[in-house]
Amino acid sequence: MVLEKEIPAFLSWILPAALGWLIVVGALVAAALVLAVVFATIRRGPVRGITSVFNAVVATFVDVFSMSPRRIMALAWLAVKESIRKKVVVAVAVFIVVLMLAGWFLDPNSTNPGRLYLSFVMTTTSYLVLLLALFLSVFSLPGDMKSKTLHTVVTKPVRHSEIILGRIIGFTLVCTALLVVMGALSFGFVIKGLDHGHTLASADLHPASGEAAEGGENVPLVGMTSNEHGHRHEVYVDPSGATRTRLENGHTHTVTVEGSGDTATYRVGPPEGVLVARVPIRGTLRFRDPKGFDKDEGINVGDEWFYRSYIQGGTDAAAIWSFSGLKESDFPGERVPLEMTLGVFRTHKGEITREIQGSLSLRNPDTGLMVEIEIFESKEFITQKLWIPKHINEVSYSQVISRRVPRENGMEFIPPEDQLDKTLAKKSEYDLFQDLITPDGCVEVWIQCIEPGQHFGAAQPDLYLRAGDASVPLNFVKGFYGIWLQVVIVTSFGVMFSTFLSGAVAMVGTIGVLIAGFYAEQLVELGVGPKYGGGPFESFRRLVAQDNVMTELAPGLGTDLVKMADKILQPGLQGMSMILPPFKDFGCAAFVANGFDIPGDFILTRTVMALGFFVPLFIIGYLFLRNREVAR
Amino acid sequence: MQSDVIIETRNLTKVYRDFWGRQKVQALKALDLEIHRGEIFGLLGPNGSGKTTTMKLLLGLLFPTSGKALLFGKDASDVAKNERIGYLPEESYLYRFLNAEETLDFYGRLFNMSPKVRRQRVAQLINLVGLDMAKRRQLKEYSKGMTRRIGLAQALINDPELILLDEPTSGLDPIGTRNMKDLILDLRNQGKTIVMCSHLLADVQDVCDRIGILYQGELQELGRVDSLLEMQDVTEIRTTGLTKEAESEIQAIVEKHQGRVLGVGHPTSTLEDLFLNIIAESEAHPGRRVRAGEAADGS
């Protein structure tokens, strides 16, 4: 799974994030206060102007902190009733129709049907519910103002803050109910769509070794199941009777055997592992260059996407993941599972159908002992699962080496060369947790490309240890929680805009913010000064003149002007990127669809982020509503 | 001790401006007004005279351009004043997808009433405005008269001290109008203060203690209805059982004292009284009241 942004630990994220939030909100408040004082002074003179602004600030605090839960819930209930009157349940009907159509078009025979089905239902649900949240939130208040029903509400002891909060809660409740229904329908749809069985008869099996069978020995049997959903599984029947299928299309089946010999009957169970919620233990990635020196990055093979860095094959170059805090108790069983999705870059075609070979080694960072675990064939675009035995008794290659880190004052060896115990490499057997993992649970996983002229690409999330899996339904719920957070943000923006804009304009405003928020990263890049092609003005000039983004513009007045305009625009873009919701960051569909547990830190950070947008939007909406004439 | 002045406006002015801040119309010009506890005050005036603007300024639905509007001594923009106010807008702006019970319960919740109090109050008010039979019907199915009645019920949900009624009898039939007027008088008798604006002068005359007449945003007249309508130089004597001869003698006496008889006749009842009498009698004695022949004779 591509994870371009590292998920920070909540506790290390919250303080800087809160500080950043306070700075941005503080700047906005200060700007608003200055403007308010200026306008009030112009209209009423300095003393009365400042007094009125002060009174307004006090009234804001009173209105926000003395809200009545009963009134808020009454207004929320009204919003729910209004939504029902607007027939929001039609959205569920639309969703059911979409699912029925999808049942025809989604291909369960694809190589990863789980990902296909999950990403489809989550994307469809989020589009439908977000669209609904948008429509409900932007048209409600303007509708009430137009029909004047708001007159009978604001002439009751209702605070404007309660009107805003009641609306947001009401519409969020409606969308929550829809999400629950759609989530249940989606989960049922995915389970049903992926469910399949295979048949297996005694005749489909034959001895793994022909000679041994003739000798009358009790030998293992192998065979293939029937073809269902576009695939069949290889089956291995152990002499003891234990039966399993090989992994195919990301899943296996349990096979139960009744009877023995030719009269044995085989029952193939439902697919297992088609839906998973892996809990990866991730390490930090560094690289080793062909000369054996540590580097932060590998080489650039010309890919425009900088996600992966590459290592050359047939050299000392390696991609090294450092893990820490590993405990034997986290890995029940005899082997530690490791999964990876490497990129491959070929400088010569070779035999195109043959995979590129690489090696997996482990190194103890304290002793320097490094043991090769496995030679593997890389599989592009597919997550490979490798197993690290806890007891390594087939050692093909081992060595004791230091880590070589270039420093300003020379090379640092960790551990120092003279402290290396070279005899460690002479053992014929190793214990994973005794010899290769340090007492505090640290180990390095080295991936190297064996074939000269070929390259492996690696990014930090590409390789992880898989200690165990989380609950799939719970992960599904967490995925929907991500959509729910987006609903809260959309509703808050919609209601906020609707306090001072007409319904249609509020909708355009909200959509505009969402689109801009979706590209917030690009705005940040434009704000800080893009690497290539210049800012908006320079880019536009290049577009019109069909100039290459890499070439320098010809010096002259035009160039100076566009560069100056970009410089002027930069602070504005930076400011905008700070207040726009990074909408893309809330998406959880990729986690669920790719079979990864959504980390608690991700959920916590996104929840706080959503809250960070909700609070200012609520206050802004309240201020706009309070300061507008409801009866105009 | 509670102040006797419930509403006070000082130099209250409202200027409507366009988007660019240019003056469009001066809807209210320096209104100075005091309305006292326990009176029924009527605001009269032709369309565009500033009645509704005044009402909206008092409710905080509009902000004054200059001047002040105080209710219970608090600024009109103060939400707390709404605890003691009931407001019936001109068109009963209510949520049409709710039924009568839901409507009143919703507004009761806005007053932070407990569920028990709400239930009692909702039942009481629905009974008061005569909507028991239609309390579970959505308001969109209501006639205009029924909508006015549920509108009035929501205005009374909090048992307010001050009730602002915008055209309270508009859309009501004569019975509804009479009931509304009786109710207004009854509320006044309970010590409540009522401010109403209306085009129907007869209604205002029937119920109001004091009136203010607005024209082009300015207060033209203010005072007690009876004193404003009183004609000081005309004397009215109403008697029963006089013969023609006695009438002639009285006319002679008037002329003897240099008076001038403006007219002698038999006063008529109001059409409203006639209509209500007929309805009341018909309810007491069901059946056809006027035969076809009699109707023709009458015509």
- pLDDT tens sequence across B68-85: 999 999 999 899 999 999
Q: Is A85's CB within 8 Å of B97's CB?
A: yes
Which residues partner with A302 through β-bridges? none
Question: Chain B contact for A81, CB < 8 A?
Answer: yes
Q: Output the pLDDT for position A23.
A: 93
User: Which of B54, B56, B61, B81 would best serve as a mutation to test chain A binding (most A beta carbons within 10 A)?
Assistant: B61
CA distance linking residue B13 with residue B62, whole number of Å: 11
- Tell me which residue of A292, A264, A317, A254 sits closest to A401, measured CA to CA: A292
Longest alpha-carbon distance in chain A: 109
Which tokens sit at A573? 């873009």
- By mean pLDDT, which of A129-143, A527-541, B148-162 is the weakest? A527-541
Give phi and psi for A366, each to the nearest 5.
Answer: -80, -50
pLDDT, mean of residues A211-224: 67
Q: Is A155's CB within 8 Å of B110's CB?
A: no
Distances (CA, A) of A105 to A98, A102, A120, A275: 10, 5, 11, 20
Kindly compute the dihedral angle of the four CA atoms of residues B168, B173, B179, B182, in this order, to the nearest 10 degrees: 60
pLDDT, mean of residues B179-187: 91
Question: Chain B contact for A78, CB < 8 A?
Answer: yes
Cβ(B159)–Cβ(B125) below 8 Å: no
Mean pLDDT: which of A228-242, A467-481, A536-550 is highest? Answer: A467-481
* Mean pLDDT of chain A, nearest integer: 89
Among chain A residues, the shortest Cα distance to B97 is held by A85
What is the three-state SS of A12-56?
A: HHHHHHHHHHHHHHHHHHHHHHHHHHHHHHHHHCHHHHHHHHHHH
pLDDT, mean of residues A99-112: 83
Which tokens sit at B83? 């605890």
* pTM given for the model: 0.85
Among chain B residues, the shortest Cα distance to A163 is held by B110
Which tokens sit at B80? 């707390």
Q: Is A151's CB within 8 Å of B93's CB?
A: yes
CA distance linking residue A117 with residue A40, whole number of Å: 58
The B-side interface with A (CB below 8 A) comprises: 56, 59-63, 79-80, 82-83, 85, 87, 89, 91, 93-95, 97-98, 102, 106-107, 109-112, 154, 158
Cβ(A447)–Cβ(A360) below 8 Å: yes
**How large is the C-alpha radius of gyration of chain A?**
31
Among chain B residues, the shortest Cα distance to A158 is held by B110
pLDDT, mean of residues B217-228: 84
Nearest to B82 among A63, A149, A156 (CB): A156
User: Which of A64, A66, A152, A167 would best serve as a mutation to test chain B binding (most B beta carbons within 10 A)?
Assistant: A152
If one counts every other C-beta atom within 10 angstroms of the C-beta of residue A11, the result is 9
Kindly compute the dihedral angle of the four CA atoms of residues B196, B201, B205, B209, in this order, to the nearest 10 degrees: 30
Residue A569 has pLDDT above 90, yes or no: no
Question: Chain B contact for A623, CB < 8 A?
Answer: no
Residue A326 has pLDDT above 90, yes or no: yes
- Tell me which residue of A189, A288, A278, A348 sits closest to A598, measured CA to CA: A278
CA distance linking residue A112 with residue A101, whole number of Å: 20
Distances (CA, A) of A496 to A617, A623, B139: 6, 9, 29
Q: Output the pLDDT for position A110.
A: 78
Among chain B residues, the shortest Cα distance to A83 is held by B97
Nearest to A71 among B80, B93, B112 (CB): B112
> How does residue B3 score in pLDDT terms, banded at 50, 70 and 90?
low
Question: What three-state secondary structure class fits A1?
Answer: coil
User: Distance from CA of residue A207 to its chain's centroid?
Assistant: 46
Instruction: With beta carbons under 8 A apart, name residues in chain A contacting B91.
Output: 148
Position with higher pLDDT, A245 vs A506: A506
> How does residue A104 score in pLDDT terms, banded at 50, 70 and 90?
confident
Residue A240 has pLDDT above 80, yes or no: no
- By mean pLDDT, which of A206-220, A223-237, A485-499, A547-561 is the weakest? A206-220
pLDDT, mean of residues B179-202: 90
Q: How big is the A-B interface in CB pairs under 8 Å?
A: 74
CA distance linking residue A265 with residue A260, whole number of Å: 8
Residue B92 has pLDDT above 80, yes or no: no
CA distance linking residue A443 with residue A513, whole number of Å: 45
Instruction: With beta carbons under 8 A apart, name residues in chain B contacting A159.
Output: 79
Question: Chain B contact for A77, CB < 8 A?
Answer: yes
Cβ(A312)–Cβ(A356) below 8 Å: no
Which tokens sit at A255? 């096979």
Q: Is A148's CB within 8 Å of B87's CB?
A: no
> How does residue B117 score in pLDDT terms, banded at 50, 70 and 90?
very high
In the numeric block, the tokens 């073809």 are attached to: A227
User: Distance from CA of residue A280 to its chain's centroid?
Assistant: 13
Q: Output the pLDDT for position A222.
A: 85
Q: Which helix (H) or strand (E) holds A286?
A: strand A284-288
Cβ(A253)–Cβ(A270) below 8 Å: yes
For strands B85-88 and B162-166, give the pairing.
parallel
A121: left (phi over 0), alpha (psi -120 to 50) or beta: alpha
Instruction: With beta carbons under 8 A apart, name residues in chain B contacting A154.
Output: 60-61
Q: Output the pLDDT for position B298.
A: 44
Distance from CA of B282 to the nearest CA of A (A): 38
User: Which of B51, B95, B102, B167 would best serve as a mutation to test chain A binding (most A beta carbons within 10 A)?
Assistant: B95
Distance from CA of B69 to the nearest CA of A (A): 15
pLDDT, mean of residues B56-75: 93
Position with higher pLDDT, A551 vs A15: A15
**What percentage of chain B exceeds 70 in pLDDT?**
95
User: Which of B109, B118, B163, B165 would best serve as a mutation to test chain A binding (most A beta carbons within 10 A)?
Assistant: B109
Nearest to A631 among B56, B102, B158 (CB): B56
Cβ(A423)–Cβ(A444) below 8 Å: no
Residue type for position B212: G
Among chain A residues, the shortest Cα distance to B19 is held by A632
Q: Output the pLDDT for position B1.
A: 45
- Tell me which residue of B165, B170, B229 sits closest to B199, measured CA to CA: B170
- Residue A572 CB partners (closer than 8 Å, separation 6+): none
Please list, residue by residue across A24-38, b when 16 or more beta carbons sit within 10 angstroms of its beta carbon and e when fewer do. eeeebeeeeeeebbe
**What percentage of chain A exceeds 70 in pLDDT?**
97
Cis amide prior to A415 (ω within 30 degrees): yes
Question: Chain B contact for A155, CB < 8 A?
Answer: yes
**How large is the C-alpha radius of gyration of chain B?**
24
User: Distance from CA of residue A234 to its chain's centroid?
Assistant: 33
Q: Is A155's CB within 8 Å of B87's CB?
A: yes
| pLDDT tens digits, one per residue of A416-435 | 988 888 898 888 899 999 99
CA distance linking residue A546 with residue A540, whole number of Å: 9
Q: Output the pLDDT for position A489.
A: 95
Inter-axis angle of helices A113-147 and A69-85, nearest 10: 110
Position with higher pLDDT, A542 vs A381: A542
Q: Is A158's CB within 8 Å of B93's CB?
A: no
CA distance linking residue B238 with residue B229, whole number of Å: 18
Residue B294 has pLDDT above 60, yes or no: no
> How does residue B94 score in pLDDT terms, banded at 50, 70 and 90?
very high
Which residues partner with A228 through β-bridges? A231
* Mean pLDDT of chain B, nearest integer: 87
Cβ(A167)–Cβ(A79) below 8 Å: yes
